[in-house]
Structure 1
Amino acid sequence: MLARNVPGESVKGVLLDVNRLTEERLDELLNKFLKDFKEGWLDKEGFVMTDMNCNVGLLTVAEGAESCVRVALLPHGGPSALYFSRNQVTTF
Protein backbone atom coordinates (compact mmCIF):
# COMPACT_ATOMS: atom_id res chain seq x y z
CA MET A 1 0.00 0.00 0.00
CA LEU A 2 1.22 3.47 -0.69
CA ALA A 3 2.11 5.48 2.38
CA ARG A 4 -0.03 8.35 1.11
CA ASN A 5 -3.08 6.06 1.21
CA VAL A 6 -2.64 5.34 4.93
CA PRO A 7 -3.87 8.01 7.33
CA GLY A 8 -1.79 8.60 10.45
CA GLU A 9 1.95 8.54 10.87
CA SER A 10 1.86 5.83 13.57
CA VAL A 11 -0.09 3.53 11.25
CA LYS A 12 2.36 4.12 8.41
CA GLY A 13 5.26 3.41 10.74
CA VAL A 14 3.87 0.06 11.86
CA LEU A 15 2.81 -1.15 8.43
CA LEU A 16 5.92 -0.03 6.56
CA ASP A 17 8.38 -1.49 9.10
CA VAL A 18 7.90 -5.04 7.83
CA ASN A 19 11.01 -6.36 9.58
CA ARG A 20 9.44 -5.61 13.00
CA LEU A 21 5.80 -6.30 12.09
CA THR A 22 4.41 -8.74 14.63
CA GLU A 23 1.00 -9.89 15.74
CA GLU A 24 1.44 -7.86 18.92
CA ARG A 25 2.18 -4.66 16.97
CA LEU A 26 -0.88 -5.22 14.81
CA ASP A 27 -2.97 -5.74 17.96
CA GLU A 28 -1.65 -2.43 19.33
CA LEU A 29 -2.57 -0.72 16.07
CA LEU A 30 -6.06 -2.20 16.11
CA ASN A 31 -6.57 -1.14 19.73
CA LYS A 32 -5.50 2.41 18.87
CA PHE A 33 -7.94 2.43 15.95
CA LEU A 34 -10.78 1.27 18.21
CA LYS A 35 -9.92 3.93 20.81
CA ASP A 36 -9.80 6.65 18.16
CA PHE A 37 -13.09 5.41 16.72
CA LYS A 38 -14.83 5.47 20.09
CA GLU A 39 -13.57 8.99 20.75
CA GLY A 40 -14.52 10.27 17.27
CA TRP A 41 -10.97 11.01 16.16
CA LEU A 42 -10.82 8.99 12.97
CA ASP A 43 -9.53 10.60 9.84
CA LYS A 44 -12.32 9.66 7.42
CA GLU A 45 -10.37 9.75 4.13
CA GLY A 46 -10.35 6.42 2.37
CA PHE A 47 -12.69 4.56 4.78
CA VAL A 48 -15.72 2.69 3.48
CA MET A 49 -19.11 3.40 5.07
CA THR A 50 -20.23 0.22 6.83
CA ASP A 51 -22.25 -0.73 9.88
CA MET A 52 -18.98 -1.75 11.56
CA ASN A 53 -17.74 1.85 11.59
CA CYS A 54 -21.15 3.51 12.03
CA ASN A 55 -20.99 4.75 8.42
CA VAL A 56 -18.26 7.31 9.07
CA GLY A 57 -16.40 6.65 5.81
CA LEU A 58 -16.37 8.52 2.54
CA LEU A 59 -16.78 5.60 0.12
CA THR A 60 -19.96 3.61 -0.34
CA VAL A 61 -19.73 -0.17 0.01
CA ALA A 62 -20.01 -0.46 -3.78
CA GLU A 63 -17.15 2.01 -4.28
CA GLY A 64 -15.03 0.19 -1.70
CA ALA A 65 -15.66 -3.20 -3.31
CA GLU A 66 -15.16 -2.03 -6.88
CA SER A 67 -11.37 -2.51 -6.95
CA CYS A 68 -11.54 -5.96 -5.33
CA VAL A 69 -14.17 -7.18 -7.75
CA ARG A 70 -12.34 -5.75 -10.75
CA VAL A 71 -9.11 -7.54 -9.77
CA ALA A 72 -10.96 -10.78 -8.98
CA LEU A 73 -12.49 -10.79 -12.46
CA LEU A 74 -9.24 -10.25 -14.37
CA PRO A 75 -8.81 -12.89 -17.11
CA HIS A 76 -6.21 -15.65 -16.93
CA GLY A 77 -2.91 -14.30 -18.12
CA GLY A 78 -3.80 -10.82 -16.88
CA PRO A 79 -1.55 -8.81 -14.58
CA SER A 80 -0.30 -10.55 -11.46
CA ALA A 81 1.94 -9.75 -8.48
CA LEU A 82 0.85 -6.11 -8.62
CA TYR A 83 -0.66 -3.79 -6.02
CA PHE A 84 -3.87 -2.01 -6.97
CA SER A 85 -5.17 1.13 -5.30
CA ARG A 86 -8.61 2.40 -6.35
CA ASN A 87 -8.49 0.59 -9.71
CA GLN A 88 -4.97 1.68 -10.58
CA VAL A 89 -1.76 -0.31 -10.50
CA THR A 90 0.61 1.33 -8.04
CA THR A 91 3.72 0.52 -5.99
CA PHE A 92 3.78 -0.62 -2.39
Structure 2
Amino acid sequence: MAKECLETNYYGVKRMTEAFFPLLQYSKSPRIVCAKGVLSDTEHLTEEKIEEVINQYLKDFKEDSLQAKGWPSLMSAYILSQAVMNAYSRIMAKKHPSIQINCICPGYVKTDISYNRGVFPAEEGAKSPVRLALQPDNSPSGLFFVRKEVSSFK
Protein backbone atom coordinates (compact mmCIF):
# COMPACT_ATOMS: atom_id res chain seq x y z
CA MET A 1 0.00 0.00 0.00
CA ALA A 2 2.90 2.37 0.73
CA LYS A 3 4.32 1.79 -2.74
CA GLU A 4 0.88 2.27 -4.32
CA CYS A 5 0.41 5.56 -2.45
CA LEU A 6 3.78 6.89 -3.64
CA GLU A 7 3.10 5.59 -7.16
CA THR A 8 -0.15 7.55 -7.29
CA ASN A 9 0.65 10.71 -5.36
CA TYR A 10 4.20 11.29 -6.59
CA TYR A 11 5.12 9.24 -9.64
CA GLY A 12 1.67 9.55 -11.23
CA VAL A 13 1.61 13.32 -10.80
CA LYS A 14 5.24 13.56 -11.95
CA ARG A 15 4.52 11.62 -15.18
CA MET A 16 1.41 13.69 -15.88
CA THR A 17 3.27 16.96 -15.23
CA GLU A 18 6.14 16.00 -17.52
CA ALA A 19 3.66 15.01 -20.24
CA PHE A 20 1.95 18.41 -20.02
CA PHE A 21 5.08 20.61 -20.04
CA PRO A 22 5.23 20.73 -23.86
CA LEU A 23 1.58 21.82 -24.01
CA LEU A 24 2.05 24.41 -21.27
CA GLN A 25 4.75 26.08 -23.36
CA TYR A 26 2.01 27.16 -25.79
CA SER A 27 0.05 28.96 -23.09
CA LYS A 28 0.40 32.69 -22.49
CA SER A 29 -0.15 32.08 -18.76
CA PRO A 30 0.98 28.54 -17.89
CA ARG A 31 0.32 27.33 -14.33
CA ILE A 32 0.88 24.23 -12.26
CA VAL A 33 -0.51 24.02 -8.74
CA CYS A 34 0.44 20.93 -6.72
CA ALA A 35 -2.00 20.10 -3.91
CA LYS A 36 8.24 19.04 4.15
CA GLY A 37 12.61 18.40 6.94
CA VAL A 38 14.70 16.22 4.77
CA LEU A 39 13.57 17.75 1.45
CA SER A 40 13.73 21.41 2.49
CA ASP A 41 17.31 22.05 1.28
CA THR A 42 16.35 23.85 -1.92
CA GLU A 43 19.93 24.62 -2.92
CA HIS A 44 20.96 20.95 -3.19
CA LEU A 45 17.58 19.43 -4.01
CA THR A 46 17.52 17.11 -7.02
CA GLU A 47 15.23 14.47 -8.43
CA GLU A 48 17.93 11.95 -7.48
CA LYS A 49 17.68 13.09 -3.83
CA ILE A 50 13.91 12.61 -3.97
CA GLU A 51 14.42 9.07 -5.34
CA GLU A 52 16.94 8.39 -2.56
CA VAL A 53 14.45 9.41 0.12
CA ILE A 54 11.64 7.34 -1.44
CA ASN A 55 13.86 4.28 -1.79
CA GLN A 56 15.05 4.59 1.82
CA TYR A 57 11.45 4.91 3.00
CA LEU A 58 10.35 1.82 1.03
CA LYS A 59 13.33 -0.14 2.37
CA ASP A 60 12.50 0.88 5.95
CA PHE A 61 8.84 0.06 5.32
CA LYS A 62 9.68 -3.45 4.09
CA GLU A 63 11.95 -3.97 7.11
CA ASP A 64 9.19 -2.73 9.45
CA SER A 65 11.56 -0.11 10.82
CA LEU A 66 9.66 3.10 10.03
CA GLN A 67 9.22 4.13 13.65
CA ALA A 68 12.81 3.25 14.58
CA LYS A 69 14.10 5.31 11.65
CA GLY A 70 11.99 8.36 12.59
CA TRP A 71 9.35 8.24 9.85
CA PRO A 72 5.85 9.50 10.77
CA SER A 73 3.84 6.82 12.55
CA LEU A 74 0.49 7.69 10.96
CA MET A 75 -0.14 7.89 7.21
CA SER A 76 3.61 7.95 6.54
CA ALA A 77 3.38 7.04 2.84
CA TYR A 78 0.83 9.79 2.24
CA ILE A 79 2.88 12.36 4.17
CA LEU A 80 6.02 11.38 2.25
CA SER A 81 4.18 11.48 -1.08
CA GLN A 82 3.10 15.06 -0.36
CA ALA A 83 6.58 16.10 0.79
CA VAL A 84 8.26 14.69 -2.33
CA MET A 85 5.62 16.30 -4.53
CA ASN A 86 6.38 19.66 -2.89
CA ALA A 87 10.10 19.09 -3.43
CA TYR A 88 9.55 18.08 -7.05
CA SER A 89 7.50 21.23 -7.69
CA ARG A 90 10.43 23.39 -6.50
CA ILE A 91 12.78 21.57 -8.85
CA MET A 92 10.36 22.04 -11.75
CA ALA A 93 9.88 25.74 -10.91
CA LYS A 94 13.64 26.24 -11.27
CA LYS A 95 13.80 24.12 -14.42
CA HIS A 96 10.81 25.88 -16.08
CA PRO A 97 10.94 29.55 -15.04
CA SER A 98 8.35 30.55 -17.66
CA ILE A 99 5.69 28.46 -15.89
CA GLN A 100 4.27 29.40 -12.50
CA ILE A 101 4.63 26.28 -10.37
CA ASN A 102 3.49 26.40 -6.76
CA CYS A 103 2.36 24.00 -4.03
CA ILE A 104 -0.63 24.44 -1.81
CA CYS A 105 -1.99 22.94 1.36
CA PRO A 106 -5.72 23.69 1.25
CA GLY A 107 -6.08 23.06 4.98
CA TYR A 108 -7.83 20.23 6.77
CA VAL A 109 -10.59 19.59 4.26
CA LYS A 110 -13.57 17.25 4.71
CA THR A 111 -12.67 14.44 2.30
CA ASP A 112 -12.51 10.67 2.32
CA ILE A 113 -8.85 10.76 3.40
CA SER A 114 -9.76 12.85 6.48
CA TYR A 115 -12.76 10.58 7.12
CA ASN A 116 -14.82 13.74 6.58
CA ARG A 117 -13.51 15.16 9.87
CA GLY A 118 -11.89 18.15 8.21
CA VAL A 119 -12.56 21.72 9.23
CA PHE A 120 -13.26 23.04 5.73
CA PRO A 121 -15.82 21.80 3.21
CA ALA A 122 -14.41 20.65 -0.14
CA GLU A 123 -15.62 23.84 -1.85
CA GLU A 124 -13.61 25.95 0.61
CA GLY A 125 -10.57 23.72 0.18
CA ALA A 126 -10.71 24.21 -3.58
CA LYS A 127 -10.57 28.02 -3.38
CA SER A 128 -6.84 28.28 -2.67
CA PRO A 129 -5.61 26.09 -5.58
CA VAL A 130 -8.00 27.86 -7.93
CA ARG A 131 -6.73 31.25 -6.71
CA LEU A 132 -3.16 30.18 -7.45
CA ALA A 133 -4.09 28.88 -10.89
CA LEU A 134 -5.72 32.23 -11.70
CA GLN A 135 -3.06 34.53 -10.24
CA PRO A 136 -1.71 37.28 -12.52
CA ASP A 137 1.24 36.70 -14.84
CA ASN A 138 4.63 37.39 -13.25
CA SER A 139 3.34 36.23 -9.87
CA PRO A 140 5.70 34.21 -7.67
CA SER A 141 6.67 30.65 -8.56
CA GLY A 142 8.32 27.86 -6.59
CA LEU A 143 6.49 28.68 -3.37
CA PHE A 144 4.46 26.71 -0.84
CA PHE A 145 1.14 28.13 0.31
CA VAL A 146 -0.98 27.11 3.25
CA ARG A 147 -4.40 28.22 2.14
CA LYS A 148 -3.77 31.88 1.13
CA GLU A 149 -0.43 32.50 2.85
CA VAL A 150 3.10 31.76 1.67
CA SER A 151 4.69 29.27 4.05
CA SER A 152 8.00 27.56 4.60
CA PHE A 153 8.60 24.12 3.09
CA LYS A 154 9.92 22.97 6.49
The alignment's TM-score, normalised by the length of structure 1, stands at 0.52
Q: Percent identity?
A: 34
Which of 56, 59, 62 in structure 1 is aligned with 2:123?
62
Cα distance between partner residues in 1 of 2:55 and 2:123: 30
Matched, 1:50 2:82: no
Compared CA separation, residues 49 and 23, structure 1 to 2 (3 A) = farther
Give 1:30 deviation, angstroms: 8.6
Taking only aligned residues, the RMSD between alpha carbons, in angstroms, comes to 3.1
Question: Which ranges of structure 1 fall in alignment gaps of 5 or more residues?
Answer: 1-14, 35-45
- The letter of the residue matching 2:75 is F
Whichever of the two has the greater Rg, that structure is 2
With a CA cutoff of 8 Å and minimum separation of 6, indicate the structure with the bigger relative contact order: 2
Compared CA separation, residues 21 and 50, structure 1 to 2 (3 A) = same
The size of the alignment, in residue pairs, is: 67
Give 1:59 deviation, angstroms: 1.3
Cα distance between partner residues in 2 of 1:51 and 1:88: 25
Runs of 4+ in 1 over 4 A off after TM superposition: 26-31
The alignment's TM-score, normalised by the length of structure 2, stands at 0.34
